[in-house]
Structure 1
Amino acid sequence: MQGNLHKPKKQQISAEESKRKQVIRVKILFATYGQIPQAGKLPSPFSLLQKELEQRGHQVDVLGHHPDMQRVYLISQTRSGPWTLNLQGQSVPKAPIKERVYDEVFRYYQKYLPHVHPWIRWREIERYTFELILSLFDLGKYDLIHTHDALATRAVWRVKPAHVPLLYQCGGLLRHDPAVAAEVTSPDSLKARYVACEEYMAATSCDQAIVPSAWLKKVWQEEFFIPDGHSAVIHRGMEFAPFLQWLQYEPYPPVEKKKGVQIIACPPGLDFQSGSTTLLDALARLKQQRDDFLCWMVGDGPWRGELEAYCREKDLTRHVLLLGERTDWPSLLAKTDIVVWPAPAVDFPLPLMEAQVAGTAIVACDSSVIQEMVRHGETGLLFEAGNSLELSERLLQLLDTPELASHLRNSSKTYGMNEWSSAKWAEQVEQLYLQMKRKHRVAAPAGEKKKSRDSVAQLFAFRLRHRLDEGGWNEFAHRLPASYLVPDFDFLRVLTETNQFDE
């Protein structure tokens, strides 16, 4: 009789747990301007976040460009069994829309803003095209939209239904993007001001933002005056199981490690911005004290020839091996005694995260971001950026003091296993989702009345050259918010501050 009394209670608890799990399930759209493979997975590392969130019971659809950049498509996936994954998708061809947008917007710029560089015009036209395409998808069915780049964030913000909260995942400053940095050569140019506007508008065109480091959060506060509570610091994670398995494999192509020789590995690549010359200068000094080391420089770059010549100049040919591009970094790491990161970083370098999980001693540049993950004397040793003398002293300290090296390896591994778990990453993002849903539900009214326009021409703030009321174009007039206009006036204010031509 006593046992029977407990059975309903057990069933009741089970039902309550099941109900709770259903309540917290979130329907999420990952959106990016970038390319996504047809399998519906974002490029790493966000494919890992997608996987972790799906394992927690959430639905994660993905929207972005096809690899050929000629279509934008949305992929939804559901499981019908332990082995079966059902994919469903929608696709919108880009060319028919962009051709019209290009023709009208380019003519507007030629007439009113002839000083604006074609590179800026291209970015504007790409975003307006992306915005129109976004409006053709049913964004209102999602509990939350999670964007992964600045362009997608501004575009989604301008076209999404008001009741859907938007989370922006900032991977770093746009001006540090190699493609942008190659184009923006002067900090006083209109290009530079435009990119700064892109940074600011992405940071403010969302209900909440994620930044990967406290350093970037501080930059946002000091340069763009973003309130402290608007961004949360959540760094990415990594999947431990396959990485730890890979540590057991031999490197391929094979790399010899001689007995009694300490291996120092440097993974950032081969260019003068990666701190390569600082490291080589430090090794030249170290060679005067110790002769039992070999440095593996992993990666490649346009400066390889110059660095090879620099090695010969410093008489380091027996102590430095340029390995080129490798896909087996974990296998190399398993044979490495010390990992060196000789240059400042703007995000947590994945090779350093992996070095910590592998339990490898670390010597790294003391930039603000690196100091967030490597604590001097506890989980690694730091040296002043560009100071080859101090770097050589740190390396000598580890080679001469095995007890210190062992302590740092153990502490680093403990820290890495606790800090870089992809499950922990997903849990932090999930908590932010739920927090945003609660806040948005209170702030937003139930239901949403949407005004429609009489004509697609009303989407543009200037007189159109061609009629756009044929071939389905009026669908945009009914789908886009009443406040939507081309051009985007927040960007237009920046572009009209000067009439000086950029080179």
Structure 2
Amino acid sequence: MKILMATFWGLQNLGGIWTYIRQLSEWYAEHGIEVDVIGTDMQKETVYILKKGWLFEKKAVLPALHSSLSNGHVPALHADPYLAYLELNRYAYELGMAYLGTESYDLIHAQDPISAYSISRVMKRKVPLVTSYHGSLHLEGYLDELQINPDTRKEDYLRTPLGNYYKTMEQLGIAASDGFIVSSSWIQQLMQQFHAPAAAFSRIPYAVDLVQYDELAAKQTSYSAPPNKQVIAFTGRLEYIKGIHVLLEAASILKKYREDFVIWIAGEGSMGSLYKEQTQNKGLEGHVKFWGMVNNVPSFLKNVHIYVQPSLQDTQPFSVTEAQLAGIPVIVADTAGMPDMVVEGKTGYVVPPSDAAALARKLDYLLTHPNVRTRVGTAARTWARKYRSLERQAKDTLAVYEQYIKKNRIAERGQDEMTDVKIRRDERTESLSTSAAFSLPHLPIASDLLADLMSKLPPDYRLPDRKVIKDRE
């Protein structure tokens, strides 16, 4: 069996998604299953196969794409600068995928809607395509917009060129896929809004390599709690979507009636300096400690009493499972896939999203009741070790792969009775097409590269993609 795991995004910039890809691919490699991982190096502008050294330099085609698809040629593409950046890089990604090859695999597991749809456009031979959505492009885009314009309504954002682009890509990623592996009921419900059939879903929660976790946890910690302080922790990217500003606001409320706590924040991100400024403005310097990037999270958690995941949107953070495995009671926001991770009052707690007062009350309760912390933390550890092991996740995922590979082989033998699970992706996307586009020979790139790409791409491959970029009448 030969599997390809693919993403449009930069592999090492993916946070928890990179952990998901890395853990599964390494587990399969250890068990004799060949897995390639394709992603983008955003800094070097390459599409590459991890660990093989095979790469495609996007600079070989990006200048030609920019000149051939300029504002004068395709105004709709340039309705938003970031939309143009994403779409032109998607075309370069598609050409890179064709160059590196997708047809030698038994199955492709796409990790986002953009890679799923892009791969479907460059396939000449039908390879089963299973896709995981680890979040929502259009909802994350909306949350980014709220940072700039707090009064923006979601329906108005989705009418903007960029909001509509994200929504279209999610729709096309679903239409391009044969099946879906998701971690939570939330992401499944969101995808079904784009007409993904319920029968095509396999729900497999994220997991942690317990052997590796235990090895890291056994190492001595260098993070000591201050005297007479109980530690509240968060680990992850310092981005707006993670809701750290809500945790800092809750700390400001909590500080009004107790002093026996400190908040440890581990991680890096674009909002780091702003959160440090917020800490100073609220007079929380003695109650908040920013540790930067922490390499050994299990060891870091040893002296933690409560873990908080206040995200505005988060599918199923690995950090929550790591805290549960450490025997720490967790508090998560009631949004996205996080409520699936706890049983209220038994293995953790759920508070309303963006509600700093509610979070402060729950923290106050747990700080006051150490016996409750011990009971809930112990139950969380037992639950996580039973239901969140990498071995269980890998075997369940492998069973899904085998299911779609078997169906594809039956179809190749002319016995295409795929029942209700098969998604007829060509039929579902054809109606989205509009006006004509140019074929690849019109792209001014090196002749040898052009010839190679022409031999690997479907004969009907066109640029720009008129299922995405629609000229206005």
| TM-score class, shorter | 0.7 to 0.9
Secondary structure at the counterpart of residue 159 of structure 2: coil
Please, which of 255, 260, 276 is the counterpart of residue 224 of structure 2?
255
Structure 1 stretch displaced more, 236-245 or 386-395 = 386-395
Q: 1:397 to 1:124 in 2, by over 3 A?
A: closer
Q: Which whole-Å CA distance do the structure 2 matches of 1:135 and 1:415 have between them?
A: 43
1:188 aligns with 2:159: yes
What amino acid maps onto 2:175 in structure 1?
A: T
Q: Which whole-Å CA distance do the structure 1 matches of 2:107 and 2:66 have between them?
A: 31
Q: Which whole-Å CA distance do the structure 2 matches of 1:274 and 1:475 have between them?
A: 43
1:210 alignment partner in structure 2 = 181
Q: Which whole-Å CA distance do the structure 2 matches of 1:384 and 1:282 have between them?
A: 13
Please, which of 463, 469, 476 is the counterpart of residue 453 of structure 2?
476
1:488 aligns with 2:457: no
Please, which of 90, 104, 110 is the counterpart of residue 68 of structure 2?
104
Please, which of 322, 327, 344 is the counterpart of residue 376 of structure 1?
344
What amino acid maps onto 1:190 in structure 2?
A: P
1:238 aligns with 2:208: yes
Which is higher, the Rg of structure 1 or of structure 2? 1
Q: 1:43 to 1:489 in 2, by over 3 A?
A: same
Please, which of 394, 399, 402 is the counterpart of residue 362 of structure 2?
394
Assess if the C-alpha contact under 8 Å between 2:133 and 2:187 holds in 1.
no
Q: CA deviation at 1:52?
A: 0.9
Assess if the C-alpha contact under 8 Å between 2:279 and 2:288 holds in 1.
no
Assess if the C-alpha contact under 8 Å between 2:242 and 2:314 holds in 1.
no
What amino acid maps onto 1:124 in structure 2?
A: E
Q: Which whole-Å CA distance do the structure 2 matches of 1:181 and 1:165 have between them?
A: 34
Q: Which whole-Å CA distance do the structure 2 matches of 1:204 and 1:308 have between them?
A: 45
Structure 1 stretch displaced more, 199-208 or 467-476 = 467-476
Please, which of 431, 438, 441 is the counterpart of residue 461 of structure 1?
438
**TM-score after normalising by structure 1:** 0.76
Describe the superposition over 1:170-194 as per-residue Cα deviations: whole angstroms up to 9, x where unpaired.
Answer: 2211235579946997432112111
Assess if the C-alpha contact under 8 Å between 2:168 and 2:468 holds in 1.
yes
Superposition RMSD on alpha carbons, in Å?
3.4
2:426 alignment partner in structure 1 = none
Q: 1:118 to 1:339 in 2, by over 3 A?
A: closer
What amino acid maps onto 2:280 in structure 1?
A: A
1:94 alignment partner in structure 2 = 58
What is the percent sequence identity of the aligned residues?
24
1:442 aligns with 2:410: yes
Please, which of 34, 40, 48 is the counterpart of residue 59 of structure 1?
34
Q: CA deviation at 1:200?
A: 1.0
Q: Which whole-Å CA distance do the structure 2 matches of 1:491 and 1:374 have between them?
A: 39
Q: CA deviation at 1:59?
A: 0.7
Q: Which whole-Å CA distance do the structure 2 matches of 1:201 and 1:326 have between them?
A: 37
1:130 alignment partner in structure 2 = 93
Q: CA deviation at 1:103?
A: 2.8
2:427 alignment partner in structure 1 = none
What amino acid maps onto 1:100 in structure 2?
A: A
Q: Which whole-Å CA distance do the structure 2 matches of 1:469 and 1:284 have between them?
A: 60
| Structure 1 residue runs without a partner (length 5+) | 1-25, 76-86, 448-458
Q: Which whole-Å CA distance do the structure 1 matches of 2:448 and 2:285 have between them?
A: 67
Structure 1 stretch displaced more, 271-280 or 132-141 = 271-280
Q: CA deviation at 1:286?
A: 4.4
2:328 alignment partner in structure 1 = 360
1:72 aligns with 2:41: no
Secondary structure at the counterpart of residue 339 of structure 1: strand
2:420 alignment partner in structure 1 = none
Q: 1:250 to 1:159 in 2, by over 3 A?
A: same
1:407 alignment partner in structure 2 = 375
Q: CA deviation at 1:217?
A: 1.1
What amino acid maps onto 2:61 in structure 1?
A: I
Q: 1:331 to 1:311 in 2, by over 3 A?
A: farther
What amino acid maps onto 2:464 in structure 1?
A: P
Secondary structure at the counterpart of residue 490 of structure 1: coil
Q: Which whole-Å CA distance do the structure 2 matches of 1:147 and 1:427 have between them?
A: 18
Structure 1 stretch displaced more, 88-97 or 411-420 = 88-97
What amino acid maps onto 2:364 in structure 1?
A: L
Q: Which whole-Å CA distance do the structure 1 matches of 2:169 and 2:293 have between them?
A: 33
Assess if the C-alpha contact under 8 Å between 2:328 and 2:377 holds in 1.
yes
Higher relative contact order (CA 8 A, sep 6+): 2
1:23 alignment partner in structure 2 = none
How many residue pairs were aligned?
Answer: 438
2:234 alignment partner in structure 1 = 266
Secondary structure at the counterpart of residue 210 of structure 1: strand
Q: Which whole-Å CA distance do the structure 1 matches of 2:267 and 2:46 have between them?
A: 33
1:149 alignment partner in structure 2 = 112
**TM-score after normalising by structure 2:** 0.80
Q: Which whole-Å CA distance do the structure 2 matches of 1:155 and 1:65 have between them?
A: 13
What amino acid maps onto 1:148 in structure 2?
A: Q
Q: CA deviation at 1:245?
A: 2.7
Please, which of 301, 318, 327 is the counterpart of residue 333 of structure 1?
301
Assess if the C-alpha contact under 8 Å between 2:329 and 2:376 holds in 1.
yes
2:424 alignment partner in structure 1 = none
Describe the superposition over 1:279-326 as per-residue Cα deviations: whole angstroms up to 9, x where unpaired.
Answer: 4554455456654333334446132343223442xxx55444444443
Q: Which whole-Å CA distance do the structure 1 matches of 2:355 and 2:74 have between them?
A: 53
Describe the superposition over 1:449-488 as per-residue Cα deviations: whole angstroms up to 9, x where unpaired.
Answer: xxxxxxxxxx953797677794352343333223322232
Secondary structure at the counterpart of residue 471 of structure 1: helix
Secondary structure at the counterpart of residue 106 of structure 1: coil
Q: Which whole-Å CA distance do the structure 2 matches of 1:271 and 1:130 have between them?
A: 26
Q: Which whole-Å CA distance do the structure 1 matches of 2:235 and 2:404 have between them?
A: 38
Secondary structure at the counterpart of residue 204 of structure 1: helix
